[in-house]
């Protein structure tokens, strides 16, 4: 049997991959390089093409155009069973008729590898479930099945491990715990992990690099901090966390900064944080980066005055304010409850301030709501 | 009955007093089975050990606990017994060989035609069993579409006929019981999560290995159910042998038929019926044990 798992190692390279269905492109001319040994997340709302991309890497779908390489080996047309790639499926897809032991041993047996026993024992130890070897999958809890699915894939030491929403079926608490464990296991075994998820928090907690997908294309790719702090489009700004986006105009340039006019008030933004195409911008600032003070306070930095609190929600670690600005827009502010000062009240007049390095500017011609209302149901 | 007690106990925990509801719900079924199954079976058992009445009147028997009826009945009809099981086995194997690819194609490859194909499998049931069997007489007959081409290809001699033969009987049985094989197979194949098959491919199993290690084992409940649903009625069948066979293809069902209705030898017919039932029960018990699917049935 063709066994490429030992011969081809290296970076995964997708070159101009397209997957077309009769009426639309699920993946549209996508190019991507994933470094060997990294934890890479493909993030996006459902229907963005992330799962199709994963299935093409696994060999379960054939790309309409483009090529896929691992290192120097072209795997574009290889059958799934010929690829040095293993997958942890969304609903685990364990073999219901086989014991946990045989489930994990399946890949080794197919490749005719000797000494199955010690490898399976090691894999079971890695996921901390050695006592379940003789059970059948339906006797296990969701979390346990998830770990067995992981062990069944990892034992083969693939060049690439693909994870298709592996934590989607788990409850919140278990999911958080598995996120930490997955990250630890990835470090431990040193394999390249490609993780598909629609949960931005999951992607950001685990991955070294996150690619945010939208309509079959990569919207932006980078480290989690880079994507969060320096979004290049409205979709990224709204999909990852929350953003206040205010219509503005670049009116001046001042060293490393642009001066932006927001309904008559002047603020600044780093030029390196601006993806504006012309003077028209959407000025962005994250709610937790804003400071809120009574209107008579005096703080340096970027300031917007004339706000009025229309809603206050106290949620323990922080207090969330909705502040109505003079031009009618409501701005969201998250204030840490760490200073012992009682929260401000509804109706109070306030001013908002922030460090200029925390703001960003986007192309003002984009739809300011893109990416903000997707995936609410999941 | 353990499940009933469990159900009753569960009801207890809600109401605090013993619930008779599960037993009451069971009553109509139990009554029906007692009157129309258990009593007739006991009656049949009693008949099987009777001997002719002293009066010598035909069809009149008295109870004498003559167990030698069983030995005599078996010795007289062992050939037909053996034939029943051979024919039934052949028909079951043929039906399995035809149905498995059919059910597999319907379950995995038929796309939006799936429901239509399932209906087509069942469609023959809309005509009478007898009519369908008689039709095979025409199909395999001298002027039918089968004999001519086979003779032309010299696959059979110019004098060979297909009707009134063991071949015709087995063919008829295979055809008549085909849906009983196809439907359970389809049901169990259709239930297989396609992702487990993808997972097998992902774990280095090629198409054939995936079938051998995953698809087939997961369809075993369907195989077992289908073979039982085909084998049991086929072993007791007498219509196919009567319509498509000849005197030397008689099955045990034909013997029971003639003992009961023509010779009015009730004790022998009853003894044969019991032996057939026992033989089938033993065979399927061994079969289910061997196939390791007790928990699936």
pLDDT tens-digit readout, A281-321: 999 999 999 988 887 776 667 889 889 999 999 888 889 99
- Asked if residue B59 belongs to a domain, the reply is no
Q: Is the pLDDT reported for residue B205 higher than 60?
A: yes
Within this chain, do residues B88 and B156 fall inside the same structural domain, yes or no?
Answer: yes
Per-residue model confidence as pLDDT tens digits over B30-60: 999 999 999 999 999 999 999 988 887 887 8
Sequence ranges of chain A with CATH classification 3.40.50.300: 12-229
Residue B4 clears pLDDT 70, i.e. is over it: no
**Would you say residue B4 lies in a domain?**
yes
Q: Please tell me the CATH superfamily of domain A242-361, with its number.
A: Nucleic acid-binding proteins (2.40.50.140)
Q: Which among A81, A91, A106 has the least Cβ separation from residue B195? A: A91
Residue B111's pLDDT band, with cuts at 50, 70 and 90, is confident
* Residues B6 and B104 placed together within one structural domain of the fold: no
Interface contacts A/B by beta carbons within 8 Å: 66
- In the predicted model, is pLDDT for residue A246 greater than 90? yes
Using the beta-carbon criterion (under 8 Å), do A79 and B193 form an inter-chain contact?
no
Contact B140, B134 (CB under 8 A): no
For the segment A44-56, what is each residue's pLDDT rounded down to a tens digit?
998 899 999 999 9
In chain A, which residues have their Cβ closer than 8 Å to the Cβ of B206?
A: 1, 79, 81
Q: Is residue B60 part of a domain?
A: no
CATH 2.40.50.140 residue ranges of chain A are 242-361
Specify whether B44 is located in the same domain as B158: no
In a domain, B57, yes or no: no
The answer to the question of residue B56 being in a domain is no
Q: Between A374 and A32, whose confidence is greater?
A: A32
| Residues of A at the B interface, defined by Cβ within 8 angstroms | 1, 3, 58-60, 79-81, 85-87, 89-91, 93-97, 106-107, 110-111, 152-153, 156
Query: Residues B228, B85: one domain?
Result: yes
Tell me which of B189, B191, B198, B203 to substitute to probe the interface with A (most A C-beta atoms closer than 10 Å): B203
Judge whether residue A201 has pLDDT over 70: yes
Has residue B287 been placed in a domain?
Answer: yes
Same domain? B40 vs B139: no
Q: What is the pLDDT of residue B196?
A: 95
B155 shares a domain with B18: no
Mean pLDDT lowest among A165-179, A316-330, B90-104: A165-179
Mean pLDDT, chain B, integer = 89
Residues B144 and B215 in one domain: yes
pLDDT value of residue A377? 38
Q: Are residues B41 and B74 in the same domain?
A: no
Average pLDDT estimate for B156-175:
89
The pLDDT assigned to A337 comes to 83
* Touching A: B residues 169-198, CB under 8 Å: 193, 195-196, 198
What is the percent of chain B where pLDDT is above 70?
Answer: 92
Cross-sheet strand order for the sheet of A349-354: A291-294, A349-354, A302-314, A318-324, A330-336
The pLDDT of residue A294 is 84
B contact test, residue of A5, A55, A96 with most B CBs within 10 A: A96
B58 in any annotated domain:
no
Answer yes or no: do B211 and B106 share one domain: yes
Q: Quote the number of domains for chain B.
A: 2
Asked if A81 and A70 count as a contact pair (C-beta separation under 8 A), the reply is: no
The average pLDDT across A321-334 equals: 93
Same domain, B20 and B74: no
Cα angle for residues B48, B54, B56 (degrees, 5° grid): 90
- Same domain? For B23 and B152 the reply is no
Q: How confident is the model at residue A376 (pLDDT cuts 50, 70, 90)?
A: very low
CATH number of the structural domain spanning residue B73: 1.10.3720.10
> For residue B229, what are the CA distances in angstroms to B96, B177, B242, B284?
11, 8, 21, 11
Q: Do A93 and B195 touch (CB under 8 A)?
A: yes
pLDDT for the residue numbered A4: 43
Kindly tell me if the per-residue pLDDT of A1 is higher than 50: no
**Å from A250 to nearest chain B CA?**
53
Write the DSSP assignment of A342-372 as a string of letters: PPP-TT-EEEEEE-GGG-EEEETTS-TTTTT
Q: Which of A90, A91, A110 sits opposite B204 (nearest CB)?
A: A110
Summary mean pLDDT of chain A:
89
Query: Which tokens is A42 given?
Result: 């493909």
Q: Tell me, what's the pLDDT at A6?
A: 45
pLDDT reported for residue B270 = 94
Give tens-digit pLDDT for B258-271: 998 888 899 999 99
Q: Give the per-residue pLDDT at B176.
A: 93
Residue B297: per-residue pLDDT: 43
pLDDT over 80 (residue A341): no
Cβ of B204 and A1 within 8 Å?
Answer: yes
B193 is a domain residue:
yes
Q: Distance (Å, rounded) from C-alpha A165 to C-alpha A213?
A: 15
DSSP string, A65-134: EEEEEETTEE-TT--GGGSSEEEE-TT----TTS-HHHHHHHHHHHTT-S-HHHHHHHHHHHTT-GGGTT
ipTM: 0.81
Q: What is the pLDDT of residue A168?
A: 81
As assigned by CATH, the class of the A12-229 domain is alpha beta
Q: Which of A213-217, A218-222, A314-318 has the lowest mean pLDDT?
A: A314-318
Residue B29, pLDDT > 60, answer yes
Query: Containing domain of residue B178, as a range?
Result: 69-296
Coil, helix or strand at residue A39 = strand
Q: The tokens 């109505």 sit on which residue?
A: A324
DSSP B292: T
CB-based contact A93 B193, cutoff 8 Å: yes
Whether residue B69 is predicted with pLDDT greater than 80 in this model: the reply is yes
Contact with chain A for residue B202, Cβ under 8 A: yes
Q: Please report the pLDDT score of residue A375 as a whole number.
A: 44
Interface membership of B199 toward A (CB under 8 Å): yes
Do B224 and B292 belong together in one domain? yes
Cα–Cα distance, A33 to A349 (Å, whole number): 50
């Amino acid at each position: 049997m063709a066994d490429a798992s030992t011969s081809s190692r290296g970076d995964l390279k997708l070159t101009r991959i397209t997957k077309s269905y009769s009426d639309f492109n699920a993946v549209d001319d996508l190019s991507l390089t994933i470094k060997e040994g990294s934890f890479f997340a493909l993030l996006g709302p459902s229907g963005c093409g992330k799962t199709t991309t994963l299935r093409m890497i696994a060999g379960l779908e054939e790309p309409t155009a483009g090529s896929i390489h691992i290192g120097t080996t072209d795997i574009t047309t290889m059958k799934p069973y010929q690829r040095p790639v293993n997958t942890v499926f969304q609903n685990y897809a364990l073999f219901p008729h086989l014991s946990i032991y045989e489930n994990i041993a399946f890949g080794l047996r197919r490749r005719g590898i000797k000494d199955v026993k010690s490898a399976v024992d090691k894999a079971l130890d890695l996921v901390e479930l050695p006592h379940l070897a003789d059970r059948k999958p339906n006797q296990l809890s969701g979390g346990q099945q998830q770990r067995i699915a992981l062990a069944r894939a990892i034992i083969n030491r693939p060049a690439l491990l693909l994870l298709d929403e592996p934590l989607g079926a788990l409850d919140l608490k278990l999911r958080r715990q598995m996120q930490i464990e997955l990250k630890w296991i990835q470090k431990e075994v040193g394999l390249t992990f490609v993780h598909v998820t629609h949960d931005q928090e999951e992607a950001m907690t685990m991955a070294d690099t996150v690619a945010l997908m939208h309509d079959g294309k990569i919207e932006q790719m980078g480290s989690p901090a880079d994507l969060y702090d320096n979004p290049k489009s409205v979709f990224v700004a709204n999909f990852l966390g929350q953003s206040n986006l205010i219509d503005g105009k670049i009116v001046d340039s001042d060293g490393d900064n642009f001066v932006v006019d927001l309904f008559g008030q002047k603020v600044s933004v780093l030029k390196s944080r601006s993806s504006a195409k012309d003077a028209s911008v959407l000025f962005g600032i994250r709610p937790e980066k804003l400071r809120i003070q009574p209107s008579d306070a005096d703080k340096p930095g970027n300031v917007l005055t004339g706000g009025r609190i229309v809603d206050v929600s106290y949620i323990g670690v922080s207090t969330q304010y909705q502040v109505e600005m003079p031009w009618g827009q409501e701005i969201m502010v998250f204030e840490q409850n760490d200073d012992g000062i009682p929260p401000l009240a509804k109706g109070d007049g306030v001013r908002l301030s922030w460090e200029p390095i925390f703001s960003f500017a986007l192309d003002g011609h984009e739809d300011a709501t893109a990416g903000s209302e997707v995936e609410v149901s999941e | 009955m353990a499940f009933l007690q469990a159900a009753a106990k569960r009801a207890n925990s809600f109401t605090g007093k013993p619930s008779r509801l599960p037993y009451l719900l069971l009553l109509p079924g139990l009554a029906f089975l007692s009157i129309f199954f258990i009593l007739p079976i006991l009656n049949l058992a009693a008949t099987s050990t009777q001997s002719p009445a002293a009066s010598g009147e035909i069809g009149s028997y008295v109870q004498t606990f003559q167990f030698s009826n069983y030995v005599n009945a078996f010795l007289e009809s062992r050939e037909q017994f053996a034939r029943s099981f051979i024919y039934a086995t052949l028909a079951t194997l043929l039906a399995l060989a035809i149905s498995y690819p059919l059910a597999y194609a319907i379950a995995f490859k038929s796309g939006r035609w799936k429901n239509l194909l399932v209906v087509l499998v069942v469609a023959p049931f809309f005509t009478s069993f007898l009519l369908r069997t008689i039709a095979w007489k025409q199909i395999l007959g001298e002027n039918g579409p089968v004999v001519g081409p086979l003779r032309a290809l010299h696959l059979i001699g110019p004098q060979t006929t297909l009707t009134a033969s063991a071949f015709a009987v087995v063919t008829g049985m295979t055809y008549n019981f085909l849906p009983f094989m196809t439907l359970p197979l389809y049901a169990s194949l259709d239930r297989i999560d396609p992702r487990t098959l993808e997972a097998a491919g992902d774990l280095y199993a090629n198409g054939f290995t995936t079938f051998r290690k995953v698809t087939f084992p997961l369809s075993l409940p369907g195989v077992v159910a289908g073979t039982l649903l085909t084998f049991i009625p086929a072993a007791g069948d007498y219509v196919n042998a009567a319509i498509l066979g000849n005197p030397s293809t008689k099955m045990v069902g034909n013997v029971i038929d003639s003992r009961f209705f023509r010779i009015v030898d009730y004790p022998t017919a009853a003894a044969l019926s019991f032996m057939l039932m026992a033989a089938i029960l033993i065979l399927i018990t061994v079969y289910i044990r061997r196939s390791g699917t007790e928990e699936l049935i």
